[in-house]
Amino acid sequence: MQLYSEADVDISCLQDKQISILGYGSQGRAHALNLKDSGFNVVVGLRRSGASWAKAEADGLHVKELAEAVKGACIIAFLTPDMVQKSLYAAIEAEIPDAATLLFAHGFAIHYQQIEPREDLNVVLIAPKGPGGLVRRQYEEGNGVPCLVAVDTDKSGEALQLALAYAAGIGGARAGVIETTFAEETETDLFGEQAVLCGGVTELIVAGFETLVEAGYQPEVAYYEVMHELKLIVDLLHEGGLRKMYEFISDTAAWGDMISGPRVVGDESRAAMKAVLSDIQDGTFARNWIAESEAGMTEFKRRMDADLQHPIEKVGADLRSRMDWLEN
């Protein structure tokens, strides 16, 4: 594994150069503010009609229309939703300066060939392993969120240096930057969010809730057991892995974990994980998601509405409204 820390980075390659941040959502806002506070010259590119324009200006940033923002840029960071990046690239390509560097926070558009960059451009990835809010908060506290770095195309011979300087500017080098490839970052990121982080864990929670409620237990008690308390366990895992969790839970919980966990996530779930991974690797997932996006996201909205109508949402909202300390 190749790991870079602040000592390995020479930020002077970005001094007095313009960094254009396209998009001002979760990642865009965090990157733009961190880079500005690190002393870099940042321009935010947005649609005039979009809701983020006023917000970025109120945050003290220099904002321009997308095509204008790209002019004069050394690095152009694509921090819009992945499905928008293809048409965005087509709209701004003519304005991209010679030998500039395109930077992505997730490899989707490049790995699945949504964008085929002009011959003269560098193409790099700096992917923070955390949401934008955390990237900003950690930076403000003097820390950083670890990042992955990858170089797809190095035309200028300094693509890696530029990417690392950007990573340092957003605070990521304080925590360490691990070298990867666009393929590895894209495929593992998609797999993680589908099988474990988002898809896997929410399905596990809802199935656990339904199992208890169908057996006649109170929904409120079920909610506390399978949703609320998840955070306590995840915090232990995050801080100290399986060892810390085992140190803090009871022996009864640990024995139940070891005996019953493999029954719930058994051969069938492992086979499903492999199938999910091969859909990601062979491009099936990407093809279907792009088609869904191009068709207007009706199935996306239908499925999300169904999730949000689930009884666990109503029970959860009622209980959380009594917990003043939660941000809800």
Residue 156 touches which of ligand NAD, Mg ion, none (Cβ within 5-8 Å per kind): none
Instruction: Using CB atoms within 10 Å of the CB of residue 195, give its burial: 0 to 12 exposed, 13 to 18 middle, 19+ buried.
Output: buried
- Nearer of residues 109 and 236 to ligand NAD, judged by Cβ: 109
Radius of gyration (Cα) for the chain, nearest Å?
22
**Whole-number minimum distance, CB 107 to ligand NAD, in Å?**
9
For residues 5 and 264, give the distance between their C-alpha atoms in angstroms, rounded to a whole number: 40
- Nearer of residues 202 and 281 to Mg ion, judged by Cβ: 202
Residue with tokens 């560098």: 122
- DSSP for 214-244 reads HTT--HHHHHIIIIITHHHHHHHHHHHHHHH
Segment near ligand NAD (CB under 6 A); pick from 78-86, 201-209, 233-241, 274-282: 78-86
SS3 helix, strand, coil % of the chain, rounded to 5? Answer: 60, 15, 25
**Whole-number minimum distance, CB 41 to Mg ion, in Å?**
42
Instruction: Using CB atoms within 10 Å of the CB of residue 145, give its burial: 0 to 12 exposed, 13 to 18 middle, 19+ buried.
Output: buried
**Whole-number minimum distance, CB 164 to Mg ion, in Å?**
36
Residue 202 touches which of Mg ion, ligand NAD, none (Cβ within 5-8 Å per kind): Mg ion
Number of residues that bind ligand NAD (CB under 6 A): 22
Residue 132 touches which of Mg ion, ligand NAD, none (Cβ within 5-8 Å per kind): ligand NAD
**Whole-number minimum distance, CB 297 to ligand NAD, in Å?**
13
For residues 134 and 313, give the distance between their C-alpha atoms in angstroms, rounded to a whole number: 25
Comparing every residue's Cβ against Mg ion, the nearest one is 202
**Does 105 engage in binding with ligand NAD (CB under 6 A)?**
yes
- Nearer of residues 63 and 164 to ligand NAD, judged by Cβ: 63
For residues 18 and 15, give the distance between their C-alpha atoms in angstroms, rounded to a whole number: 8
> Of 6, 8, 13, 26, which one interacts with ligand NAD (CB under 6 A)?
26
**Whole-number minimum distance, CB 188 to Mg ion, in Å?**
20
Q: Which residues 178-237 are close enough to bind Mg ion by CB under 5 A?
A: 202
- Nearer of residues 104 and 223 to Mg ion, judged by Cβ: 223
106 noted as active-site residue: yes
- DSSP for 96-135 reads SPTT-EEEESSSHHHHTTS----TT-EEEEEEESS-HHHH
Write the binding mask 121 to 150 for ligand NAD: x where contact by CB under 6 A, - elsewhere.
------xx--xx------------------
Furthest-apart CA atoms within the chain: distance in Å: 67
Comparing every residue's Cβ against ligand NAD, the nearest one is 25
- Nearer of residues 82 and 226 to ligand NAD, judged by Cβ: 82
- Nearer of residues 28 and 117 to ligand NAD, judged by Cβ: 28
- DSSP for 236-283 reads HHHHHHHHHHHHHS-HHHHHHHHHHHHHHS-HHHHHHHHHHHHHHHTT
Number of residues that bind Mg ion (CB under 5 A): 1
Instruction: Report which secondary-structure segment, H or E, holds 70.
Output: helix 66-70
Residue 146 touches which of Mg ion, ligand NAD, none (Cβ within 5-8 Å per kind): none
Residue 240 touches which of ligand NAD, Mg ion, none (Cβ within 5-8 Å per kind): none
150: CB partners within 8 A, 6+ apart: 107, 124, 125, 127, 179, 180, 181, 182, 184, 185
Residues that bind Mg ion (CB under 5 A): 202
Residues that bind ligand NAD (CB under 6 A): 23-28, 46-47, 50, 52, 79-82, 84, 88, 105-106, 127-128, 131-132
Q: Which residues are catalytic?
A: 106
